[in-house]
Structure 1
Amino acid sequence: MGQVKSRRSGLTKSKANADEKSNYDKTGIATKDDPACIIDILVDDVLLKIFSLLTVFEKVTVSRTCKRWHSLIREPHLWQTVDFWNGCNLHPPWQSQQDEADYTKKLANTTMRILQSYTDSSLRVVYLRASNWAIMRYLINKCPNLKTLSFLSPDQHTPSTCNNVIIRYFSKIRFSLPLQLEKLQLSFVADRKYERSGYIPKEFWIVSIRQFRNTVMPRILQCQNLRHLTLYKCNKISPEDVEILTSGLPKLQEICLLYFINAALEEILSIIVNNLQDLTSLHIITSQYLNNDGAVEYCINNILHELSHRRKFKDLHVTEAIFNPVSFATMTQALPNMTELGLYDCNCVTDEIMTIIARDLSNLRILLLNESGPYTDIGLKALQYHPSLQSLTICKEPRHRPKLSTVVIFETLLSLPKLKEAKLLLRRKSDQDIIFQPYLDELRAVKPHVRIFTQQQFVLGFCSTMYVGMDMRKFIFFP
């Protein structure tokens, strides 16, 4: 009897499988009569759009689902940009240098397998989380259309943890960067020290001048098509090195020096501006956001005068810079087509500067005033009804008195016709809980498409809340 029952159950299962197969057409795609597999009804274009929103590691997982998805995932346009930061555990709980080395090796092997299996000549942009010689050799020899190579995260805030290994590859005689590169982002964080309590970045060790001159700079100079160069934590670089770089890269248009403190900063900036006639973007971000030690203020009056002769210049971001209204107005009047301006922790942003921005920069889309002052409500009112401003970052209580009025802040935000994003830095909890909340509700009702970031400073760090429409979508804590 047991054998009979088992045979009957087997026949029942085979009949069920046959019924299930009948719901599929000859191509193996589910039909409309099968609600359990409704996702298979989606056309290829819709699935490709969904797959384009996935991270690299999610794409690899999805490719193992079925033959159809496996073939769709291999579409070349899905692999033009490869980001090995997004979707990867950036801060694993390793307790020793050996744990970090094992993690880096494992991630490098995974990276290599993904590159070999899914990418080909279609690869154009790659953000490397970790690297080894095999990866570098593959990018050089197998990716002739590679245009962007970055050892930073896409937000440019986190360096790769294996740059001491990368420096050794730069020193190899047979190593060369892809000569067709147009954008290169390098980090000069060579190693990290550890505390006994766990993995905490205590101190950064910087690449020496000799290493930079003998290994890094000759490789960069080989890329004659380079248009964008980012140097992360390059404090040891000298004005002579900058002179050689800017003179040897005639097509360079964008310079970004991140977390940069150098006693010769003013001289370095003068060399950059004087040598690069086609300069369009200049970012100088000091290490004030890493720590408050060693902050250096520098004067950029001469640089602003020189930039006024660069008709193509559109993007300026500076930290802890000193300038006067006369030199600033000289630049803004000569460059009315500027689209981005970032003034971080600048003590000279007065009402007059704000008036100059509103008067001369009618095409400005992004204005960042993080920790800058001492402009007042009068300067902020000058920005009202700006025709092009899409993103505005202001501090409710700058380090200089008097502090800004909540009413004026939201009147300004409501008056901007093209506003898409606003970031507000709050100093007290009462501002957000009592004063700000009614204005936030009104702003969300009038402009539901505007993204509003509010930051509140505590003793331990910053607490950031992002509002999108009527719902709170993201909560971030910055230690």
Structure 2
Amino acid sequence: MGQVKSRRSGLTKSTPNDDPACIINILIDDVLFKIFSLLTISEKLTASRTCKRWHSLIKDPHVWQTVDFWNGYNLDSPYQSEQDEAKYIKQLTNTTMRILQSYTDSSLRVVYLRASNRAVMRYLTKKCPNLQTLSFLSPDQHTPYSCNKDIIKYFPKIDFALPLQLEKLQLSFVANRNCTYDDDYPTRELRMVSIRQFRDTVIPRILQCQNLRHLTLYKCNEISPEDVEILTSGLPKLQELCLLYFTTSSFATRDHAQPAVLEEILRIIVDNLPDLTSLHIITAKYYMLNELTYVAGAYSIDNILQELCNRHKFTDLHVTEALFNPVSFATMTQALPNMTELGLYDCNCVTDEIMKIIARDLSNLEILLLNDSGPYTDIGLKALQYHPSLQSLTIFKERRQPRHSDRQILSTEVIFETLMSLPKLKEAKLLKWGCRVTHDIIFQRYLNELRAIKPHVRICTQQYRYHGPVSCGNSLHGEDMRKQTFFPY
């Protein structure tokens, strides 16, 4: 047994690395490999300085089969100006390149990048032939506004190429900077990819990856049905398609037929992808263009729901501003009882009847997002109580205007009663409006009780005040609440 003499007390003590009774020393290398692979990059680098054995194990490239440059890092870059921003991004890119060259090789399978350049892409393309997932989003598909990592500027370069063996690709098309709020509306400096650049350079590079099973396009500007037709017809193996916070080509011309465009996009996707198992169509409801705000209209998906009934492997559906009737919705849920995710964003047809259908037919549902959808009431929410498999529940109802004061809204008591009754609940996301001090006190009392009874549940809340910026509520329309973390202020 190794012994070390203490400088202060003069006593000797055993070091855990030399103690044969230490459980860490008993673990075999395969177990440590598994443990180290679950750590973040910074945790791996810290653990490698513990002892020679750990350093040798962590140096093994098999520990670095998955590299996540998001988890464990401060997501808010500390720049105060464009010069500081450029310096920060350059340092982040250099760090990314050093880690990839030092710890990864052909065994790399998954990489989530926050910053990149042509050197990084060249390394991934040539040195990582087994790469299966390349993502420029965080693992939860949420990109902070303060992180500038627009990869699209590299697509026109001749020597830029995507790894052709990819099975999962997630691209971000916008870098938001200088996000500030004034008294009336948020002003953001958005840098987006142009339509011509998207069609002439991005789409051809994506189509080269014939093994793609999953494709995510984050904040892609002005997608047209023709673009979706080219992508879906050229990628027959595609099983999961996510169009997150996108606009259509009709947005630029102020064409009020945008609902018809969205219906056409959905129809093309369903017709061209027979093996589709997951579909996320989340539009960007509010965008600033020439100081004007465009609001998309609702569109019907009854025919799409009827078509999905024949896809027995379909498990994941997220839609924005969609309209459907209880008959078509019930037909889908009865035909697809194994659905695990359902996201309804700003859907004005989610009644108590729809909520009862969800609770009755989708017994395997694990994630349910009700983002500003309605007009379901306490009766509909009570139908979800004691759901056998629900693990994540998002409830967000925007504060009703005075002219809608006659509508029933959800009560705090029923919300927390439902959360308390769910046996497998792991995550709850709520949005509360601090209109009165008494309401805020009641909400906090129930929240503390839920945390005491279910301490393992991850609870995310956000409070908005009536007298705050008017645009705060609008900025959340169309946001994927599962991908957003809220903290009270």
- 2:384 aligned partner: 383
Secondary structure of 2:95's aligned partner = helix
> Equivalent of 1:423, from 423, 429, 434?
429
- Alpha-carbon deviation of 1:201? 7.3
Asked if residue 202 in structure 1 is aligned to residue 209 in structure 2, the reply is no
- Alpha-carbon deviation of 1:133? 1.2
Query: Quick one: which amino acid aligns to residue 431 of structure 2?
Result: L
Q: Which has the larger radius of gyration?
A: 1
Measure, in 1, the Cα distance between the counterparts of 2:71 and 2:380.
39
Taking the TM superposition and a 5 Å limit, the aligned residue runs for 1:272-311 are 272-288=269-285, 293-299=293-299, 300-311=301-312
C-alpha change, 1:289 and 1:59, in structure 2 (3 Å) is farther
Contact 2:195 2:221 in 1 (8 A): no
Measure, in 2, the Cα distance between the counterparts of 1:270 and 1:88.
40
- Alpha-carbon deviation of 1:416? 2.6
- Alpha-carbon deviation of 1:174? 4.0
Measure, in 1, the Cα distance between the counterparts of 2:132 and 2:443.
45
Measure, in 1, the Cα distance between the counterparts of 2:385 and 2:235.
41
C-alpha change, 1:453 and 1:194, in structure 2 (3 Å) is closer
Taking the TM superposition and a 5 Å limit, the aligned residue runs for 1:67-146 are 67-146=52-131
Query: Quick one: which amino acid aligns to residue 274 of structure 1?
Result: D
Measure, in 2, the Cα distance between the counterparts of 1:398 and 1:365.
27
> Equivalent of 1:436, from 443, 449, 465?
443
- 2:155 aligned partner: 170
- 1:410 aligned partner: 416
- Alpha-carbon deviation of 1:43? 4.6
Measure, in 2, the Cα distance between the counterparts of 1:188 and 1:425.
28
Contact 1:396 1:427 in 2 (8 A): no
User: Kindly, what percent of the aligned residue pairs are identical?
Assistant: 72
- 1:258 aligned partner: 244
- Alpha-carbon deviation of 1:64? 4.2
Uncovered stretches (5+) of structure 1, i.e. residues with no partner: 1-13, 463-474
Asked if residue 247 in structure 1 is aligned to residue 233 in structure 2, the reply is yes
Secondary structure of 1:202's aligned partner = strand
C-alpha change, 1:203 and 1:87, in structure 2 (3 Å) is same
Secondary structure of 2:18's aligned partner = coil
Secondary structure of 1:369's aligned partner = strand
1:308-331 CA distances to partner (integer Å, 9 max, x unpaired)? 222211111122222222222222
Secondary structure of 1:352's aligned partner = helix
C-alpha change, 1:398 and 1:380, in structure 2 (3 Å) is farther
1:358-394 CA distances to partner (integer Å, 9 max, x unpaired)? 2221221111112211111221122223222222222
- 1:222 aligned partner: 208
- Alpha-carbon deviation of 1:244? 0.9
- Alpha-carbon deviation of 1:150? 0.6
Asked if residue 179 in structure 1 is aligned to residue 185 in structure 2, the reply is no
Structure possessing the higher relative contact order (Cα contacts under 8 Å, 6 or more residues apart): 2
C-alpha change, 1:420 and 1:193, in structure 2 (3 Å) is closer
Secondary structure of 2:442's aligned partner = helix
Measure, in 2, the Cα distance between the counterparts of 1:342 and 1:371.
11
- 1:348 aligned partner: 349
Measure, in 2, the Cα distance between the counterparts of 1:366 and 1:226.
25
C-alpha change, 1:344 and 1:431, in structure 2 (3 Å) is farther
The CA RMSD measured in Å over matched residues stands at: 3.4
Uncovered stretches (5+) of structure 2, i.e. residues with no partner: 249-257, 474-484
Query: Quick one: which amino acid aligns to residue 464 of structure 2?
Result: Q
Asked if residue 233 in structure 1 is aligned to residue 219 in structure 2, the reply is yes
Query: Quick one: which amino acid aligns to residue 293 of structure 2?
Result: D
- Alpha-carbon deviation of 1:47? 5.8
TM-score, normalization: structure 1? 0.81
Measure, in 2, the Cα distance between the counterparts of 1:189 and 1:268.
21
TM-score, normalization: structure 2? 0.80
Contact 1:23 1:31 in 2 (8 A): yes
Contact 1:261 1:287 in 2 (8 A): yes
Query: Quick one: which amino acid aligns to residue 325 of structure 2?
Result: N
- Alpha-carbon deviation of 1:71? 0.9
Secondary structure of 1:454's aligned partner = strand
Measure, in 2, the Cα distance between the counterparts of 1:132 and 1:306.
42
1:55-97 CA distances to partner (integer Å, 9 max, x unpaired)? 2134234434543332121233421111112233333232332
Contact 2:377 2:408 in 1 (8 A): yes
Measure, in 2, the Cα distance between the counterparts of 1:447 and 1:477.
19
Contact 2:429 2:459 in 1 (8 A): yes
1:282-322 CA distances to partner (integer Å, 9 max, x unpaired)? 11222248789323133122222222222211111122222
Measure, in 2, the Cα distance between the counterparts of 1:86 and 1:201.
28
- 1:452 aligned partner: 459
- Alpha-carbon deviation of 1:252? 0.3
